[in-house]
Structure 1
Amino acid sequence: MPALVLVEIEIHNPELYEEYKKHTLGTIQKFGGRFVVRGSKTESLEGDWNPERLVILEFPDVQTAKDWWASPEYTIAKNIRYQAANSKMLVVESQ
């Protein structure tokens, strides 16, 4: 069953975040993932939720998404993201 990874990001170092983005695409593709949403404009319909940046990824399944997140390749990018932004990330099974 496909899995989605939802990421809410608050960038505090835009230049370093651009470096993170350069390292990420190849890691996602290596695990059969793809971008569904990548920083598009958001509009809150309910509640107090208005993320600065929202990214949604799709992977073949939850385990593959978790393997991507824990991979050595993505860890390099992830460490850059930790320096450039605050973020929250979820994985969820899709229909």
Structure 2
Amino acid sequence: MPAYALANLTPPAELDDEVLTYMERIQATLDPFGGRFLVHGAPAREVREGSWDAALVIIGFPSLDHARDWYDSDAYRRLIPLRTRHMAGDVLLVDGVAPGYDPATTAAELRAARS
């Protein structure tokens, strides 16, 4: 099942050289784990509900194990401070859904569990 690394980042007003170095090097840390950027710091074009003032990053992986192994890899752990010294934010790893996922089936299971 696919998995994703999501980051909600607040970029600095001016990008520091360390942030640019982080950006230059991150793909090499993703490659061994099948990671690829799906969204990379794009501003929200249309906020339909709530508010959003951060940069969103979504990286896809073949599985949650791949995502964990990437995040915990020595190569990526060495890069993290280049970002965190200059950008506040949240990073999380989440499972995706299997092909053919149907939310109505999940709702039915949840209804049955309440009974």
Q: CA deviation at 1:45?
A: 1.4
Q: Is the Cα contact below 8 Å between 1:6 and 1:89 reproduced in 2?
A: yes
**Following superposition, which runs of at least 4 residues in structure 1 exceed 6 angstroms of deviation?**
none
Which residue identity is paired with 1:30? P
Count of residues in Structure 1 that have an aligned counterpart in Structure 2: 94
Q: Deviations over 1:6-40 (max 9, x none)?
A: 10111235122111111211101121110000122
Query: How far 1:72 sits from its partner (Å)?
Result: 0.3
**CA positional deviation for 1:64:** 1.1
Name the structure where strand makes up a greater proportion of residues.
Answer: 1
Residue 6 of structure 1 is matched in structure 2 by 6
Amino acid at match of 2:93: V
Structure 1 length as normaliser, TM-score?
0.89
1:87 maps to which residue? 89
Question: How much has 1:44 moved relative to structure 2?
Answer: 1.7
Q: Which consecutive residues of structure 2, in runs of 5 or more, have no partner in the other structure?
A: 98-115
Give the 5 Å matches for 1:3-82: 3-12=3-12, 14-15=15-16, 16-42=18-44, 43-51=46-54, 53-82=55-84
Any conservation in 2 of the 1:2–1:58 contact (CA below 8 Å)?
yes
**TM-score normalised by the chain length of structure 2:** 0.75
Q: Is the Cα–Cα contact under 8 Å of residues 44 and 50 in structure 1 kept in the other structure?
A: no
